[in-house]
Structure 1
Amino acid sequence: MPASAQRVLGFDYGTRQIGVAVGQTLTGNARPLKELRARDGIPDWEQIAALLREWQPDALVVGLPLNMDGTPSEMSARAEKFSRRLHGRFQIPVHCVDERLSTFEAKQTLRETGRGTPSSYRDNPVDSLAAALLLETWLASQKEHE
Structure 2
Amino acid sequence: MKYLGIDLGSKTLGLARGEGKIAFSWKTLRFYEHDFDDAIAQLNTVIKEYQPDTLVFGYPLNMDGSIGASAQTVNKFIETFKSQQNNAKLNIVLQDERRTTYSSQQILIKADVSRNKRKIVKDQLAAAIILQSYFDKINQQIV
| Fold match by TM threshold 0.5 | yes
Q: Which amino acid aligns with 2:94?
A: C
Verify: 1:69 aligned to 2:68, yes or no: no
- Any gaps of 5 or more consecutive residues in structure 2? none
Number of equivalenced pairs: 137
Distance across 1 between alignment mates of 2:12 and 2:32:
8
Question: 1:139 Cα deviation (Å)?
Answer: 1.0
Q: Which amino acid aligns with 1:34?
A: K
1:71-125 deviations in Å (ceiling 9; x for gaps): 11101011122223334414211000110010001001101111153x5433x42
Checking the alignment, whether the CA contact within 8 Å between 2:13 and 2:39 is kept in structure 1 is no
**% same residue:** 28
- For normalisation by structure 2, the TM-score amounts to 0.87
Distance across 1 between alignment mates of 2:81 and 2:91:
9
Question: 1:133 Cα deviation (Å)?
Answer: 0.3
Partner of 1:36: 29
- For normalisation by structure 1, the TM-score amounts to 0.85
Checking the alignment, whether the CA contact within 8 Å between 1:105 and 1:130 is kept in structure 2 is yes
Q: Which amino acid aligns with 2:22?
A: N
Provide the alpha-carbon RMSD of the alignment: 1.6
Partner of 2:128: 132
Q: Which amino acid aligns with 2:57?
A: V
More helix by share: 2
DSSP-derived class of the 1:125 partner: helix
Distance across 2 between alignment mates of 1:85 and 1:139:
26
**Matches for 1:1-146 after TM superposition, within 5 Å:** 6-25=1-20, 28-41=21-34, 42=36, 43-88=38-83, 89=85, 90-91=87-88, 92-117=90-115, 119-122=116-119, 124-146=120-142
- Any gaps of 5 or more consecutive residues in structure 1? 1-5
Q: Which amino acid aligns with 1:136?
A: Q
